[in-house]
Amino acid sequence: MDPAVVGRRVRALREEQGISLSTLARLAGVGKATLSGLEHGTRNPTLETLWAVTAQLGVPFTALLAEPAAEPTVHGTAVTATLLEVFTDTDATYELYRMRVAPGVTQLSPAHAPGVTEHVTVFAGVLRAGPTDAPLTAPAGGHLRWVSDVPHSYAAVGDEEVAASLLLRYPRR
């Protein structure tokens, strides 16, 4: 595992909260040198150090550590989707995916069962997706929804890879 990944996440989380490195170090009770080295990935932090920092950030270890291959991942020509959660309800079953769409390629997907809907929230990039004959477009922060009982497609608009969350809803028969 790469300590640089953990470092980048810590830095991202810290900046997200608008806390300076100095302040976080003081609050967490660790040296500034320690925190600096941790964020750069040049150190191999101790459990105690990680604990102090994450506790102060109010973030669990889960947010720092990239999940090993425990998650099922679906690869396509353009789309890579990892299943985050399955939720079963009296009316429907939901599958929540983390989705990435590579630029330059369009992925076609056959029709699902009647009544199945897809809900996409775009994190980064611009996504064009939906029924193949009438696709929809959404930029970062946007949301798409369509009934996927017809052939549909996914494509990234422009050069940037698209990151998004994908929710599949299968109504109970």
Partner DNA sequence: CGCTTCCGTTCCGTAAACGGAACAGTCGGG
Partner DNA sequence: CCCGACTGTTCCGTTTACGGAACGGAAGCG
| Interface contacts to a second copy, rule CB under 8 A | 1, 3, 6, 8-9, 12-13, 16, 18, 44-48, 50-51, 54-55, 59-63, 65, 67-72, 83-94, 96, 98, 113, 117, 119, 121, 123-124, 140-141, 143, 145, 163, 165, 167, 169-170, 173
Query: Which of 6, 9, 10, 39 is the binder for DNA (CB under 7 A)?
Result: 39
- Closest to 138 measured CA to CA, from 128, 146, 153: 128
Instruction: Give the phi and the psi of residue 51 in degrees, each rounded to 5.
Output: -65, -45
Amino acid found at 78 = A
121 makes contact, choosing from DNA, a second copy, none, with CB < 5 to 8 Å by partner type, with: a second copy
Nearest-angstrom CA–CA distance, 120 and 126: 12
Could you give phi then psi for residue 5, rounded to 5 degrees? -65, -45
Residue identified by tokens 């953990």 is 6
Closer CB to DNA, residue 31 or residue 114?
A: 31
Rounded least distance, CB 66 to DNA, Å: 20
Distance CA 154, CA 135 (A): 9
Among 30, 129, 155, 162, contact with DNA (rule: CB under 7 A): 30
Provide the minimum distance between the beta carbon of 147 and a second copy in the complex, in angstroms, as a whole number.
Answer: 10
User: Cα dihedral sign for 106, 119, 71, 52?
Assistant: positive
Binding site for DNA (CB under 7 A): 20-23, 29-34, 36-40, 42-46, 48-49, 52
